Structure 1
Amino acid sequence: MAKRQRVDTLLVARGLAPDLARARALVMAGQVVAGERRVDKPAELVAAEVPLRLKGRAARAFVSRAGHKLDGALEAHGVDPTGFVCLDVGASTGGFTDCLLQRGAARVYAVDVGHGHLDWRLAGDPRVVNLERTDARAISAENVPEIIDLLVADVSFTSLWRVLGPAVERLRPGGLACLLVKPQFEVAADEVGTGGIVRDPALWERTLAEARGEAVALGLDVVAVDRSVLPGTRGNVEFVLLGRRAPADAGREST
């Protein structure tokens, strides 16, 4: 019988993923093909000599798995950021920023309250304005002087809606917002289960209903809400809300 190996291990061994975490993320996102068949489980055993390939943009590596979350959302809705000025709220290591640059963004303002997290390759990229040690609530025309074409956000340990308002103010009318909605940081602390995971679908639905309302209150027409192509690091189900900044006299959800 031919020797069989885990598909995530093979991806790393063949240089298709830099580490096991990235390999597992690619498999879980449905981006790995073994022979002519898509592989869905990182632990799946395949023949050691089977041809492996990555689908589409998954062949690109990002500095963090978050890049694949944004990439999947942009791909699903045909959003092309080529030439865009973008704002990344909660940039951290820079997965979203990296995705935007690889997709042709002209510039990305990378905002994070922390310090020293942004990958050195991005921090040194002339297309990136590194706004570390910056609270998203302090975003203004002073630190983000350009009008933004595309706003992206991925924040943790606080509600997205508590910090997003000033960023939306920098978004041009008709500009897009691609926002990661994390139920684990939106529900009450006593509603989060063991291991920090929100498992109740009713809580997901409530979070999404609230997210739609919050987005409209900020002046965004809700274009779509989808499940993220990847779960959170601990396995939490996450969602992506795509919105478009409405004119000043509008405030309704798109139909």
Structure 2
Amino acid sequence: MKYRLDQLLSRKHLTPSREKARGHILAGNVLVNDEVITKVGYLVDENVSLRLKVNERYVSRGGLKLEKALKTFSIDVKDQIVLDVGASTGGFTDCLLQHDVQWVYSVDVGYNQLDYRLRNHQQVTVMEKLNAKNLHPDLFDKPINLAVIDVSFISLTKVLSFVLSVLKDREIIALIKPQFEVGEQITGFKGVVKKAEDHLKALHLVNDYALSTGLFTQSLTYSPIKGPKGNREFLIHWSDRKSKEVIDFKAVIDQAHQELRD
């Protein structure tokens, strides 16, 4: 019997869901008989040899993104209280816990997405069905030192001020997804931003808004892996500490294009 590749990965418990299976396939992480297959609907026999190229250190690939940000930005989150906005299955939350945070508030507009291991973790407060625009200080019983943000289908400029309103320390690491910043006239029907100049436009759009709130840009890097559809993504660090360093956005974008080729 033949199955779709995403279906068989989930069926064989190589991934916890078909959604995660699709992400791995599109990222080129799935080998069928030692050959990389990037077509989600590729039909395979039930007894075919399947293998993932990546080490599942976190419950989702998002953990790898935040891990790079923490290392690149030299941020120590040990004993910190952190707000995870757009937690989804919990990649960022998992990464934070593995870096010894004291507590994580995991916020998502969705429901029942957070991995069960994190859902039952004694250092995690699960806050589901909560839109980032409805964040309010009264919802939190601990002072928040840092926010990490990974939202989809909405611009960061639409949620940033609400996140800032609940923080004790105005410190943020955000994943910038250009496809949700520049509009459909650039992404096209496939929802992918390919040109470096469009990435630059997206970064400046989001960063300029952050600066208007009184934040200062501390650092910028690119995600070590592409998004599910093949989009290059970027991680940025803001705080209210003045920074004399001038960040070369274009250099970071050029490096992303060199390292993560189409």
CA distance in 1, matches of 2:24, 2:207: 31
Unaligned runs of 5+ in 2: 1-8, 16-20, 30-34, 38-52, 247-262
CA distance in 2, matches of 1:200, 1:24: 19
CA distance in 2, matches of 1:103, 1:25: 25
Unaligned runs of 5+ in 1: 1-11, 13-17, 28-41, 45-53
How many residue pairs get aligned? The number is 210
Q: Which residue of 1 aligns with 2:223?
A: 228
Q: Which residue of 2 aligns with 1:32?
A: none
Counterpart check, 1:68 vs 2:64: yes
CA contact (8 A) 1:82 1:105 kept: yes
Q: How does 1:30-179 map to 2 (within 5 A)?
A: 43=36, 61-173=57-169, 175-179=170-174
Q: Which residue of 2 aligns with 1:187?
A: 182
Q: Which residue of 2 aligns with 1:33?
A: none
Q: Which residue of 1 aligns with 2:205?
A: 210
Classify the secondary structure of the residue corresponding to 1:68.
Answer: helix
Classify the secondary structure of the residue corresponding to 1:172.
Answer: coil
Q: Which residue of 1 aligns with 2:254?
A: none
CA contact (8 A) 1:108 1:128 kept: yes
TM-score under structure 2 normalisation? 0.72
Classify the secondary structure of the residue corresponding to 1:232.
Answer: coil
Indicate the percent of aligned positions where both proteins have the same amino acid.
34
CA contact (8 A) 2:81 2:101 kept: yes
Q: Which residue of 2 aligns with 1:241?
A: 236
Matching residue's letter, 1:201: A
RMSD in angstroms over aligned alpha carbons?
A: 2.7
Classify the secondary structure of the residue corresponding to 2:137.
Answer: coil
Q: 1:25 to 1:101 in 2, by over 3 A?
A: farther
Q: Which residue of 1 aligns with 2:255?
A: none
CA distance in 1, matches of 2:129, 2:244: 34
CA contact (8 A) 1:224 1:242 kept: yes
CA distance in 1, matches of 2:139, 2:195: 40
CA contact (8 A) 1:25 1:65 kept: no
CA distance in 1, matches of 2:97, 2:160: 22
Matching residue's letter, 2:96: L
Cα drift, residue 132 of structure 1: 0.4
Cα drift, residue 123 of structure 1: 0.8
TM-score under structure 1 normalisation? 0.74
Classify the secondary structure of the residue corresponding to 1:67.
Answer: helix
102-111 vs 138-147, which moves further: 138-147
Cα drift, residue 140 of structure 1: 1.1
Cα drift, residue 182 of structure 1: 0.5
CA contact (8 A) 1:138 1:166 kept: yes
CA contact (8 A) 1:221 1:253 kept: no
CA distance in 1, matches of 2:28, 2:97: 20
CA distance in 2, matches of 1:23, 1:227: 21
Give a deviation string over 1:7-44, Cα, whole Å, max 9, x none: xxxxx9xxxxx5576699697xxxxxxxxxxxxxx849
Q: 1:234 to 1:83 in 2, by over 3 A?
A: same
Q: Which has the higher strand share?
A: 1
